């Protein structure tokens, strides 16, 4: 089940909200949320609900053990990290690892691609952050299994983040403020996210799919047009999910961290990654980069730390060498900015450089495999099989130009101002605007089939 589906919008969400607000106590509200969260997760993959329950129970017990047996605290944490990474690695990287071994040693071991449990990267990282911070003494272990299960499985942000640390919602699991104002603003932000996904991201995704399917007729002009569409699509798709998750959380009394901060206005690649997928960048910085020594080490070690973190970041996104190379590509850019460029470029050049660097990165990222990624990159560099340009690129530009323009305008400061102004309107105006967006989105969804968010595959 996805947020941008009619069954979620007109059955699952209304029923879960109704029961949530009807029941009297926070403890019972938590039980309602947990039941709907498990149903949400099991909807498309019933068998993997047992994997999630396993993760909840094991991490809950390990947290309790860490607190009850302080002498074994370190060994418990090591085992916890091992069991979580083993589970994630088996389901996400088994096929990739066996293929790599076959290629390296010229073997023919059978490769079995396992269906990826949706959201496993996100809820595994949440569990790890809980246990690591518990080891560091930042809070006491959660003794209520229901509260811990809700923290891991809450359907608002279960599938694609933001990655929420336990300390950010610890108190809210037992004490939170519910109000008509928060309900209204939360649902309005959810609907805004729905509009971003359905009315913009999905349409631009159709343009990118057409370009990706050109094969031998792909031209340089079409390749750039397709990557421009993908650059906007992935932002509106992923930030839409974050908006919807944060909005639903607010409606139910939770304050989740922001995950995006106008990333395409960045003046450097370093700044871009402070603004894009903030919760993931913060996770890697807190639990990998700083423990490795961060930047408080010799330059050669600092460079190595950056390479390690970004290789892992790329691997987190997908089990393919193209994602690892995508991560290392950003590592090299960050090293370049730190040790070579040092000072920002003058004037508009800093924005142009950053956007071009990001778009080239998306060309490799969007393909999902190295062959297709390199084909797209070479086409953008003038080595397209169909030449530099043809009438197809012009046709696509005329067909999708309005959405490309709308997406471009909305990633500028004007887009953020429009969102903030809308959310600050009176209840009536906000409800009216939300209703219009909901109806338009519904009209689009009636003619669409399954339209998952891009980050579901991670």
Domain range list for the chain? 6-176, 182-267+344-450
Instruction: Return the structure tokens found at 428.
Output: 């009536």
pLDDT at 457: 59
| Upper half-sphere CA count for residue 15 (Cβ side, 13 Å) | 10
CA 103, chain centre distance (Å)? 31
How would you write the pLDDT of the chain (458 residues) with one tens digit per residue? Answer: 788 889 999 999 999 999 999 998 999 999 999 999 999 988 877 888 999 999 999 999 999 999 999 999 999 999 999 999 999 988 888 888 888 888 888 888 777 777 788 888 999 999 999 999 999 999 999 999 999 999 999 998 887 779 999 999 999 999 998 998 899 999 999 999 999 999 999 999 999 999 998 988 899 999 999 999 999 999 999 999 999 999 999 999 999 999 999 999 999 999 999 999 999 999 999 999 999 999 999 999 999 999 999 999 999 998 889 999 999 999 999 999 999 987 888 889 999 999 999 999 999 999 878 889 999 999 999 999 989 988 888 999 999 999 999 999 998 887 777 777 777 767 787 888 889 999 999 998 887 766 667 666 55
Measured distance between the N- and C-terminal CA atoms of the chain, rounded to whole angstroms: 16
Q: Using CA atoms, how far apart are residues 211 and 390, in angstroms rounded to an integer? A: 13
Find the angle CA(367)-CA(195)-CA(203) to the nearest 5 degrees: 40
Q: Which among 75, 277, 302, 317 is annotated as catalytic?
A: 317
Q: Using CA atoms, how far apart are residues 249 and 256, in angstroms rounded to an integer? A: 7
- Specify whether 317 is catalytic: yes
For residues 296, 301, 303 and 309, what is the CA-based torsion angle, rounded to 10 degrees? -80
pLDDT at 345: 86
Q: Using CA atoms, how far apart are residues 236 and 231, in angstroms rounded to an integer? A: 9
pTM (predicted TM-score):
0.92
Q: Do 430 and 188 meet the contact criterion of CB atoms below 8 Å apart?
A: yes
């Amino acid at each position: 089940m996805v947020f941008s589906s009619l069954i979620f919008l007109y059955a699952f969400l209304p029923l879960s909200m109704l029961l949530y607000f009807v029941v009297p106590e926070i403890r019972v509200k938590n039980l309602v949320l947990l039941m709907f969260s498990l149903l949400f997760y099991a909807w498309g993959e019933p068998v993997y609900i047992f994997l999630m329950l396993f993760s909840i129970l094991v991490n809950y017990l390990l947290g309790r053990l860490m607190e009850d047996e302080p002498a074994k605290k370190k060994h418990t944490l090591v085992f916890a990290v091992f069991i979580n990474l083993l589970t994630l690695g088996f389901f996400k990287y088994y096929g990739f690892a066996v293929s790599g071994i076959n290629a390296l040693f010229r073997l023919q071991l059978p490769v079995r691609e396992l269906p990826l449990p949706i959201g496993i990267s996100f809820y595994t990282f949440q569990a790890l952050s809980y246990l690591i911070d518990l080891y560091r003494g930042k809070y006491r272990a959660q003794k209520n299994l229901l509260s811990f299960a809700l923290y891991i499985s809450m359907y608002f942000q279960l599938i694609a983040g933001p990655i929420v640390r336990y300390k950010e919602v610890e108190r809210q699991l037992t004490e939170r403020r519910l109000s008509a104002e928060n309900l209204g603003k939360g649902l309005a932000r959810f609907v805004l996210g729905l509009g971003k996904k359905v009315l913009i991201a999905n349409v631009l995704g159709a343009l990118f799919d057409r370009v990706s399917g050109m094969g031998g007729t792909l031209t340089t002009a079409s390749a750039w047009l397709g990557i421009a569409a993908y650059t906007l699509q992935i932002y509106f798709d992923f930030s839409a999910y974050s908006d919807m998750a944060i909005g639903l959380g607010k409606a139910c009394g939770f304050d989740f961290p922001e995950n995006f901060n106008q990333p395409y206005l960045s003046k450097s690649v370093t700044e871009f990654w402070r603004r894009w997928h903030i919760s993931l960048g913060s996770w890697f910085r807190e639990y990998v980069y700083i423990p490795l020594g961060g930047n408080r080490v010799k330059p050669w070690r600092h460079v190595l730390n950056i390479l390690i973190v970004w290789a892992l970041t790329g691997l987190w996104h997908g089990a393919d060498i193209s994602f690892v190379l995508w991560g290392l590509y950003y590592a090299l850019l960050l090293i370049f900015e730190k040790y070579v460029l040092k000072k920002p470029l003058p004037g508009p050049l800093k924005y142009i450089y950053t956007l071009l660097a990001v778009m080239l990165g998306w060309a490799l990222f969007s393909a999902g495999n190295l062959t297709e990624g390199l084909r797209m990159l070479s086409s953008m560099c003038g080595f397209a099989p169909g030449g530099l340009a043809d009438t197809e690129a012009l046709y696509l530009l005329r067909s999708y130009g309005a959405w490309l323009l709308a997406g471009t305008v909305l990633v500028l400061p004007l887009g953020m101002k429009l969102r903030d102004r809308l959310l600050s309107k009176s209840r009536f105006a906000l409800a009216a605007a939300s209703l219009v967006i909901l109806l338009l989105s519904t009209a689009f969804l009636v003619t669409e089939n399954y339209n998952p968010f891009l980050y579901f595959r991670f």
